[in-house]
Structure 1
Amino acid sequence: MGLLVLMQTATGLLQRKSGKRTDAEMKRWREYGLGQFIHWGVYAIPGGQWKGKTSTYAAEWFRTSGLITQNEYDNLYKQFNPTAFHAEQWAKQAKQMGARYLIFTTKHHDG
């Protein structure tokens, strides 16, 4: 039993290292085709601008742009109030463009 677990673990590590997963779940996911990833974290609040300066970084890298302190960034969540968010519209648009799945990423390069 221990050898089987070791072999499965080694196989899993090799698959991750090569970047080529062949398991059934990955096969099914690839068959879905087009999907949509939406990056929507606190970095969306400043929109690439802070105290009159504009970042050249992509939004999800805003924390590391040097325009904002760690403390300021860590407190952005207090301003998050997406009153104009309409999930139904987003889902409808994703479906219209042919997306078969949608994934929200709320924390990415910001830790």
Structure 2
Amino acid sequence: LKSGSGHGRTLGGHLYGSNPRYRAGERAWIAYAGGRLYVRSPAMAPDALAVVDCDSLEELGRIRPDGGGSVPSADNQQSLAPEKKGPGGPDAGGGGGGGAGEGEPLL
């Protein structure tokens, strides 16, 4: 779905377009950043995001953390790696609790 946000010359909640065939029946999420739409679905490879054209709502291709997808992107593998614990790391200084434990997911 393409709906207005109320910004620019759009009406908030007004439906401007749709692509009912795209990922029909999947529990996908969508995000907007840097002028592009990004879609993630459990039916996709676990390390891929689909890039969707904001005007046509057609899929342009995929991006991957290593930059090797069909749509050019930066290599972001380092920024996705968990921080290491130890001297000077996020757990330095004795602080207590609050974060994910060893082997636990960050989200």
Tell me if TM exceeds 0.5.
no
Higher relative contact order (CA 8 A, sep 6+): 1
Larger proportion of strand: 2
- TM-score, structure 2 normalization: 0.24
- TM-score, structure 1 normalization: 0.24
